[in-house]
Structure 1
Amino acid sequence: MTNCLIVGGGIIGLSLAYELSRRGLSVTVAEQGAWGGQASSAAAGMLAPLKEFSQPGPLLDLGIESLRLYPEWAAELEAEAGRDVQLCIDGLLTVALTEEEAEQLRAKFTWQRESGYDVRWLTGAAIRDVEPLLTDRAIAAIHSPSEGHVNNRMLLQALVTACKRRGVTLLSGCVVTGFVAEGSRVVGVETTAGSLFADETIIASGAWAGIAMGWLGLSIPVLPVRGQIAAVDSAGIPLQTVIFGSTGYITPKRDGKIVLGATEDEAGFQREVTLEGLTGVLNGVMPYVPALSSAPFLEAWAGLRPATADGKPLLGPVPGWSGLSLAGGHFRNGILLSPITAKLMADYLEQGRTERLEPFLPERFTSVVSQGRKMG
């Protein structure tokens, strides 16, 4: 029996496995498909809490703290895995092309500035001093020099390597079909590879978390939202800065790609790239950097992001059951929130501490919808 069994091998599950193994616990991760094949791949690796979160509160605080953890966390992970994750904390621009957008941006800038965050208001030529390739149509922008991005694919590869080196048992192609319980205590799961037992079971299966909770007669609002994303070759397009606009984002990577995104469409558990989605992504970004129209197209892909009803993740124990907890519902911000999620969840699993998890506890949503229990 292992100390901790994690169901789900995306960025959250792997980050937690890495953190727990560093604390000396034995860990097994069961993943039904490829490592990081869903929400973790439907991402550009953005580390931008000030852009992502529209108001002060616990979610913004969580994002800011996670961003602060990133440099040391990434450096330790790179040393452990012997792999670069291409962490770039070199700023980003949120751009307005119309007066209406500028007014909305100005309101956001005002509260962020008053809250003490390092943001700058740029207009006219000052915007293109930061990014010369930006369109002349840009009339205003928030420049956030302390935010950035990471190569999410390289990050996932580094986490897999580091987990292996720390003795984590990684089971890919392992589909969980039910829980194993003794009374009201979960002691493991049933899978297509047989039963797995653990002192603590953590559901980190992203958009599939709601299905797992249904096996216990619980209902939590986790909705799969498809994200479609594309990449072009950066050759001849010396883009320097991440650009966010109202219709898309543009992220230059050090591996020679420019990542473009992204859709948010509800298509159930379908994760195919559609012509409509791809067209929307490409048309959404070209108004900001016209030079992209000549960029060689490289690839497009999609994944399912787990959205919750209030936009906040689900972190902590599952009500009514011991030995079972959730780590999910991060929607578009799993990459950003992975270091802090791993730390706080490991604190809970190792020490029983939940005070930092209060705003994110699953008990705010879960309700018994039936007395049926699927035990495998």
Structure 2
Amino acid sequence: MDRYDVIIVGGGVIGSSVAFQLSKRGRKVLLLDQGPLGKKASSAAAGMLGAHTELNVDSPLYSFALSSKQLFSDLAVELKGLSGIDIEYVDKGMYKVATTEEEALTYQKLALEPAYQQQQIKWLDGNEVRKCEPALSTFIKGAMWIPKDGHVSAPALSIALASAAASFGADIKEYTQTASFIVEKGEAVGVMTNTGPVRSLHIIVTSGAWSERLLKESGLQLDTYPVKGECFSVKTHQPLIKGTIFSEGCYLVPKKGGRLIIGATEQPHSFSEQVSVQGISSLLERTKKILPSIEQAHWEKTWAGIRPQTQDGLPFIGEHPQIKNLLVATGHYRNGILLAPATGLLVADLVDKKTVRPEWKEAFRLDRNHVYARSAFS
């Protein structure tokens, strides 16, 4: 029987980041995925690196997101060297646009907050925004200009992390279903897969919205639920915008080759990956109000991704409260790409029993909701 230091269940961007960090530290790692690597939520993401678009500066998730965003510049170079893959890291800033007077007043005040000032964020009125991005409509009342935010190619990041892990010796098995954990005397010692048992010293569950099913038999009932998000993309001969545009209800992310990704709808409690006419139609209407010239773009494609959300909006990252050496990293919702580098480092530090920032360990702990199911191992 094969034996590893670490088995990671879930080959999306979070699992691949964890595999990269642990294999880089010399751990013998096995990365498992029930399908092809990075083909669920990770491939559906637009790749935004926006710590200031949705996160509250008073939340520990904000400092975690900032620490993760700061890793991307060096990570892009490192991954290119190890895997040969360009993750298309772009640092051209982001506009959090106001489409109502109420939003405009709110964003003006936020831009004056010390935490925002430290990131060189400033308020631009409607005319100033359109000087920077002439294609934006007069529907825009103004925007918070966030110069340090950017984006990457989400599919490229996922595959680059997995490839870099493999370059350090990690084994990767796709189309491998993990059916259950192997637990002996309250300690995780392996997993049972559709090809047989595999033993290891640590198990890490990074299966996104699919983590809950596997964890239920371990007695852990995480307060998570799936959220379907629909997106579409178009192409133009000349780029319509230079920076990322984020508004309540939709975002626009410019990619190389004149490609523009627009997302995303939100449908809670759905594992369906079908794209609806209603969802794309509503998204397109919101986009046209912000960027009217999109009507002249060439349609490319639509898709949907299933993202893992939590009731309190914080991810679950930590060790199982009842089973030793069983760790979980899930619930990153719309920020999986942004949080992947920091999550990889945090989980690797937990495996290595290193000291981690107390506020992160406390905020992301698995037992914070105090809900337990009946364990098959109890």
Shorter-normalised TM range: over 0.9
Work out whether 1:363 is the aligned partner of 2:367.
yes
Instruction: Give yes or no for contact 1:42–1:305 (8 Å, CA) kept in 2.
Output: no
Work out whether 1:343 is the aligned partner of 2:345.
yes
Residues 172-211 of structure 1: pairs in structure 2 closer than 5 A: 172-211=174-213
User: How many equivalent pairs are there?
Assistant: 374
In the TM superposition, residue 163 of structure 1 has moved relative to its aligned partner by 2.3
Question: Residue type matched to 1:360 in 2?
Answer: F
Gaps of 5+ in 2: none
Q: Give 1:74's match in structure 2, choosing from 69, 73, 76.
A: 76
Instruction: Give yes or no for contact 2:26–2:168 (8 Å, CA) kept in 1.
Output: no
Work out whether 1:323 is the aligned partner of 2:325.
yes
Identity of aligned residues (%): 33
Residues 107-118 of structure 1: pairs in structure 2 closer than 5 A: 107-111=109-113, 116-118=118-120
Q: Which residue of 2 aligns with 1:3?
A: 5
Change (3 A) 1:114 1:324: closer
Give, in whole Å, the separation in 2 of the partners of 1:366 and 1:42: 32
Question: Residue type matched to 1:359 in 2?
Answer: A
Work out whether 1:289 is the aligned partner of 2:286.
no
Change (3 A) 1:368 1:108: same
Give, in whole Å, the separation in 2 of the partners of 1:5 and 1:90: 37
What secondary structure sits across from 2:88 in the alignment?
coil
Residues 22-61 of structure 1: pairs in structure 2 closer than 5 A: 22-61=24-63
Question: Residue type matched to 1:365 in 2?
Answer: N
Deviations 1:17-72 (A, max 9, x none): 01111111110011011211222123110001011203422100001111111111
Question: Residue type matched to 2:260 in 1?
Answer: I
Give, in whole Å, the separation in 1 of the partners of 2:87 and 2:376: 44
Deviations 1:345-374 (A, max 9, x none): 111111343534222111212432224349
Worse-superposed segment, 112-121 or 131-140:
112-121
> What TM-score do you get using the length of structure 1 for normalisation?
0.95
In the TM superposition, residue 105 of structure 1 has moved relative to its aligned partner by 2.0
Give, in whole Å, the separation in 1 of the partners of 2:90 and 2:114: 22
Instruction: Give yes or no for contact 2:238–2:258 (8 Å, CA) kept in 1.
Output: no
Gaps of 5+ in 1: none
What secondary structure sits across from 1:178 in the alignment?
strand
Q: Which residue of 2 aligns with 1:260?
A: 262
Question: Residue type matched to 1:289 in 2?
Answer: L
In the TM superposition, residue 104 of structure 1 has moved relative to its aligned partner by 2.7
Change (3 A) 1:321 1:286: same
Instruction: Give yes or no for contact 2:111–2:117 (8 Å, CA) kept in 1.
Output: no
Work out whether 1:100 is the aligned partner of 2:113.
no
Instruction: Give yes or no for contact 1:89–1:148 (8 Å, CA) kept in 2.
Output: yes
Residues 121-132 of structure 1: pairs in structure 2 closer than 5 A: 121-132=123-134
Question: Residue type matched to 1:106 in 2?
Answer: Q
Q: Which residue of 2 aligns with 1:217?
A: 219
Instruction: Give yes or no for contact 1:237–1:295 (8 Å, CA) kept in 2.
Output: no
Deviations 1:290-342 (A, max 9, x none): 11011111111111100011111111101011010001110000100011111
Give, in whole Å, the separation in 2 of the partners of 1:353 and 1:329: 23
Instruction: Give yes or no for contact 2:205–2:211 (8 Å, CA) kept in 1.
Output: yes
Give, in whole Å, the separation in 2 of the partners of 1:309 and 1:204: 18
Change (3 A) 1:25 1:113: closer
Question: Residue type matched to 1:111 in 2?
Answer: E
Give, in whole Å, the separation in 2 of the partners of 1:178 and 1:322: 15
Instruction: Give yes or no for contact 1:112–1:119 (8 Å, CA) kept in 2.
Output: no
Task: Output the aligned Cα RMSD.
Answer: 1.6
In the TM superposition, residue 106 of structure 1 has moved relative to its aligned partner by 2.4
Give, in whole Å, the separation in 1 of the partners of 2:246 and 2:105: 16
Give, in whole Å, the separation in 2 of the partners of 1:253 and 1:115: 28
Q: Which residue of 2 aligns with 1:86?
A: 88
Residues 295-314 of structure 1: pairs in structure 2 closer than 5 A: 295-314=297-316
What secondary structure sits across from 1:362 in the alignment?
coil
Work out whether 1:275 is the aligned partner of 2:277.
yes
In the TM superposition, residue 113 of structure 1 has moved relative to its aligned partner by 5.5
Deviations 1:230-255 (A, max 9, x none): 11013234321111112211110014
Change (3 A) 1:256 1:193: farther
